[in-house]
Structure 1
Amino acid sequence: MEKIKERLSPLTKLSYGVGDFGFAFADTAIGVLFAIFLTDVVGLRPSLAALAIFIGKSWDYLNDPIVGYLVDRTRTRWGRRRPYLIFGFIPFGLTFAMLWWRPPFEDQIALTAYYAAAFFLYDTILTIVTTPFFALTPELTQDYDERTSLTSYRMAFSLLGGLVAFIVPLMMIGTMRPENTNRVFQMGWVFAIACSLPLLVTFFGTREREEYVHQKQPGLRESLKAAWSNRPFLFAAGIFLFTWTAVDIIQTMLLFFLKYRMGLEAESDIVAGTIFITALVVLPFWVWASQKTDKRKAYVYGMVFFSAVMITLIFLDPSLGFASVIVLAALAGVGVSAVHVLTWAMIPDAVEVDELQNGTRHEGMFYALVSLMKKVAVSIALPIALLILDRSGFVSNAPQQTESAVWAIRILIGPVPSILLLGGILFALFYPLSRESHADTRARIAARREAPAD
């Protein structure tokens, strides 16, 4: 008998998707602006900026699995995921604003300590609200293609948040220089509110499935064992890890590249806008491509294209003009769109494999571990990138950088992300789930649920 497709209402998809606007804005703003804020506005040496980011992110090594475990075991009348959104949205906004305040002292060590502590607090709250939010995806729908559709709604808001984060703060701030310190802090407060309020929409606009809310959950050790024994999950996590680490490095280095290589600091909002508008426009194409082939093949095609675009940046010369930058930004937007849709759409399918193997579901732990692996990679990769800048002779706000500093920026924005994207492609080539195998998994789970108890 033909299986009737499970459908979510557009309102549910919108209510869930809008929640990612705030996360995407915060993530993009920090990824694009925070490092150059520390070096060019606060005045930290790149090596100390690297230390602050590393210390702030290192706590994730512990807090992600702990939060994932707690989220899976939470039981309230609102469910086990949504309560974290209603109680976490205010701390999320406050800690985001703290990142953009410059303390009234000049000591480099004291400034480093402040930003390390601020990042520590922000990242803790971020984990508390993002882990349950992401864990809602496989619980809202069990259908293979409907999950891609749900993810596309979320990614549309994610790309919109990224677009706003790239363009509007730079319009408010102007240039990243010490004289604009107050403007940066004002931006932080305005968008602290804009980042946190969407979580209320998700809380009130979604409902958790009863069969999952009351499902018995195993202990921490069993949850970790379930994740590490789930082959599709490990490959999906590897894809996610390599791809998003590449994107984080690109975000961090983009303003450095435009300011110090291309001489286009004033036009950086136009370049960023081109990337994200293109990504939004192309979003339906990647949903269509994953439906016509499958998620794995669509991802491989997208990342081969994205990697080829990024490698060309090392050859981009200021003499080629602004038009060449815009063309490459549009092409990069095609790849960015694929990243947003396809990496996130693969992970929920691994949850069904977990249920088939173990008879239980560990969405919170799975998403926490994916988040943890990405954060560990970024906590190492971004500080290393800043250390390379420091060793290359980079001087913040210098009218002319050394040749070695410019080369460091070119390598970090071009070849390094391209190599990481190729790593994601290698994982995807061996990703074991297809539409057919996922349907078989769902059918076997359904049969087991319907079987009479002994």
Structure 2
Amino acid sequence: MKHHVTPLKDRVPIGQKMAFGAGHLVLNLLPGALGIFMFFLLTAFGMDPFLAGLLGGLPRIFDALTDPIMGFISDNTNSRWGRRRPYIFVGAILSGLFFIVLWQLDPEDSVNYNFWYFLIMSMVFLIGNTMFATPLIGLGYEMTSDYNERTRLMAFSQTIGQIAWMIVPWFWVLIADPDLFESQAVGVRRLSIIVGAICLLLGLLPAIFCKGIDSANMENRKVITFKTMFSNLKDLFQGIVQVSKNKPFMRLCGATFLVFNGFQLVASFSYFIIVFYMFQGDYGAAGNWPAWFSTITAVVTAFAVIPIISAMANKWGKRNAFIMSTVISIVGYLLKWWGFNPDEPFLIFMPIPLMAFGLGGLFTLMMSMTADVCDLDELRNGMPRKEGTFGAIYWWMVKLGQALALVLGGLVLKLVGFDQNLTIQSAETMTNLRIADIVIPAATAALAIWVMWNYSLNEERAREIKEELIERRGEL
């Protein structure tokens, strides 16, 4: 492949990359903390398990509905600060504040009161979070028009975002530590203040320092007012239809759905295998091994795997880099059979460097390729560019898969015979659980390779599209 030097005007300055990365740290820290704090609804606040399940599922449905709407609004916004940055600024403030308010529950209040309080505040929090997250992702797609610089930008942001997953696993340890907090409820309330404040401050950085495409002369943007609400809904639906007809984009969505949610479906299985297979159900003996497993995975992903994947994409193209990294991850999943060894606990870290190529390659490359797809959409359908809509639909697929993974994960546990009330699980159950932990993500990763095999938007075609767009816009 011919080596291409990125023009100076298409390079994203390191300060902007750091600010965009700070936004991605928030994108990872908020849902990561939310997922762990949700566990303490049961143990710290006495929430009924069925009601806790509703609190996990109902807001996700609401969130899936608001994402495309926010994407459409930011695509068609016309302001002196650009299309995305005003929403990112306000959304960062609302996300941080409402995350804090969300967790100021009191175990002394009734279960019904805490249920309705949490449900309503979850909706309010998600409005602020959607206002922040959807325009931020759209902004990333338009910060550079260069094929390779897009990958470098996404790699940088994903590396910083992984810092959240180095921290989040230790929330379990901190909240449950009686030397730090007099109760789990107090631990959740106080830690939420720290997390919310950090996310508020970091979330403001991309709104202040990052620059997107110059949209001053962008044509065909819709007027967003209460009077145009119904016509806007029609335009939103038409935009979603156009996005769904973009075959390269649908391949990206399909591959992401398979890789990410194959991983998510068995994400909790490693914890159960460590506790019940390696340490025979002794939580005390298992100690911090699960937390270290997650933290080391994030460290390896951030500082080793993502830079390697970025270099692979630069040398061999994004599609080829995705296929190679996914194959490597499958090998890593297979190594878990020997890595989870009761006699040699440190072997649990052996598969990590290879497994990390799965998610490390996925979001680094898919987000970069989605930016290329936005160029293709502009070529086919004209202005306005739809980075916000593409980002919203892409992450809607991710969230849909997460919801399905939560349901199917519990089903798999039931099918293998796992009994949460038993300290010692049967040998057959643990064998079946270990097989499922390997086969499911390996199989979905293999399917993702098949989906991406005929992905057609390579570097040569992407550069041709860029030149055609420059000529059409009359740019120098």
Unpaired runs of at least 5, structure 1? none
Aligned-CA RMSD value:
3.2
1:180 matched residue in structure 2: 184
Structure 1 position 91, deviation (Å): 2.0
2:225 matched residue in structure 1: none
- Measure the CA separation in 2 of the matches of 1:95 and 1:373: 25
Structure 1 position 443, deviation (Å): 1.4
Q: In structure 1, what residue type is equivalent to 2:463?
A: A
Report if aligned partners of 1:279, 1:337 keep a CA contact under 8 Å in 2.
yes
Greater shift, 362-371 or 189-198, is seen at 189-198
Greater shift, 283-292 or 9-18, is seen at 9-18
- Measure the CA separation in 2 of the matches of 1:93 and 1:408: 42
Q: Tell me the SS of whatever aligns to 1:442.
A: helix
- Measure the CA separation in 1 of the matches of 2:207 and 2:288: 39
Q: In structure 2, what residue type is equivalent to 1:297?
A: N
Report if aligned partners of 2:82, 2:215 keep a CA contact under 8 Å in 1.
no
- Measure the CA separation in 2 of the matches of 1:122 and 1:157: 23
| 1:18 lines up with 2:22 in the alignment | yes
Report if aligned partners of 1:26, 1:165 keep a CA contact under 8 Å in 2.
no
1:248 matched residue in structure 2: 264
Structure 1 position 161, deviation (Å): 2.0
Question: How does the TM-score come out when normalised to structure 1?
Answer: 0.87
* 1:273-312 alignment, distance < 5 Å: 273-282=295-304, 283-312=306-335
Q: In structure 2, what residue type is equivalent to 1:64?
A: D
**Residues 204-250 of structure 1, C-alpha deviations (whole Å, 9 max, x = no match):** 11123323674432532331222012111111122222222234335
The change in CA–CA distance for 1:203 and 1:300 in structure 2 (over 3 A counts) is same
**Residues 244-265 of structure 1, C-alpha deviations (whole Å, 9 max, x = no match):** 2234335444444434443424
| 1:431 lines up with 2:455 in the alignment | yes
The change in CA–CA distance for 1:420 and 1:443 in structure 2 (over 3 A counts) is same
| 1:135 lines up with 2:135 in the alignment | no
Report if aligned partners of 2:276, 2:425 keep a CA contact under 8 Å in 1.
yes
Greater shift, 227-236 or 141-150, is seen at 227-236
Report if aligned partners of 2:78, 2:216 keep a CA contact under 8 Å in 1.
no
- Measure the CA separation in 1 of the matches of 2:275 and 2:177: 10
**Residues 60-102 of structure 1, C-alpha deviations (whole Å, 9 max, x = no match):** 3321211111111222221110111211122212333355555
- Measure the CA separation in 2 of the matches of 1:132 and 1:241: 21
- Measure the CA separation in 1 of the matches of 2:217 and 2:154: 21
Q: 2:13 aligns with which of 3, 9, 14?
A: 9
Q: Tell me the SS of whatever aligns to 2:221.
A: coil
Q: 2:292 aligns with which of 262, 270, 273?
A: 270
2:379 matched residue in structure 1: 356
| 1:217 lines up with 2:221 in the alignment | yes
Structure 1 position 370, deviation (Å): 0.8
- Measure the CA separation in 2 of the matches of 1:276 and 1:66: 32
- Measure the CA separation in 2 of the matches of 1:21 and 1:249: 23
Q: 2:358 aligns with which of 335, 342, 359?
A: 335
Question: How does the TM-score come out when normalised to structure 2?
Answer: 0.83
Structure 1 position 434, deviation (Å): 0.6
Q: In structure 1, what residue type is equivalent to 2:314?
A: Q
Structure 1 position 174, deviation (Å): 4.4
Q: 2:155 aligns with which of 152, 155, 171?
A: 152
* 1:19-168 alignment, distance < 5 Å: 19-31=23-35, 33-34=36-37, 36-38=39-41, 41=44, 48-98=51-101, 100=103, 103-104=106-107, 115-167=118-170
1:193 matched residue in structure 2: 197
Q: 1:414 aligns with which of 434, 438, 449?
A: 438
**Segments of 4+ in structure 1 off by > 6 A?**
106-110, 175-178, 402-405
Report if aligned partners of 2:85, 2:135 keep a CA contact under 8 Å in 1.
yes
Greater shift, 315-324 or 383-392, is seen at 383-392
**Residues 5-36 of structure 1, C-alpha deviations (whole Å, 9 max, x = no match):** 222211122222221111111233344x2564
* 1:323-402 alignment, distance < 5 Å: 323-360=346-383, 361-386=385-410, 389=413, 392=417, 394-395=419-420, 399-400=423-424
- Measure the CA separation in 2 of the matches of 1:225 and 1:419: 30
- Measure the CA separation in 2 of the matches of 1:225 and 1:339: 25
**Residues 315-370 of structure 1, C-alpha deviations (whole Å, 9 max, x = no match):** 66552421111222343334332233222221111000001001121111111111
Q: In structure 2, what residue type is equivalent to 1:194?
A: I
- Measure the CA separation in 2 of the matches of 1:313 and 1:106: 44
Report if aligned partners of 2:274, 2:340 keep a CA contact under 8 Å in 1.
no
Q: Tell me the SS of whatever aligns to 1:141.
A: coil
Q: In structure 2, what residue type is equivalent to 1:370?
A: Y
Larger RCO, structures 1/2 (Cα 8 Å, 6+ apart): 1
Greater shift, 6-15 or 128-137, is seen at 6-15
1:441 matched residue in structure 2: 465
Report if aligned partners of 1:240, 1:344 keep a CA contact under 8 Å in 2.
no
Q: Tell me the SS of whatever aligns to 1:432.
A: coil
- Measure the CA separation in 2 of the matches of 1:165 and 1:213: 43
2:207 matched residue in structure 1: 203
Report if aligned partners of 2:263, 2:441 keep a CA contact under 8 Å in 1.
yes
Structure 1 position 289, deviation (Å): 0.3
Q: In structure 2, what residue type is equivalent to 1:69?
A: F
Q: In structure 2, what residue type is equivalent to 1:225?
A: V
Q: In structure 1, what residue type is equivalent to 2:155?
A: S
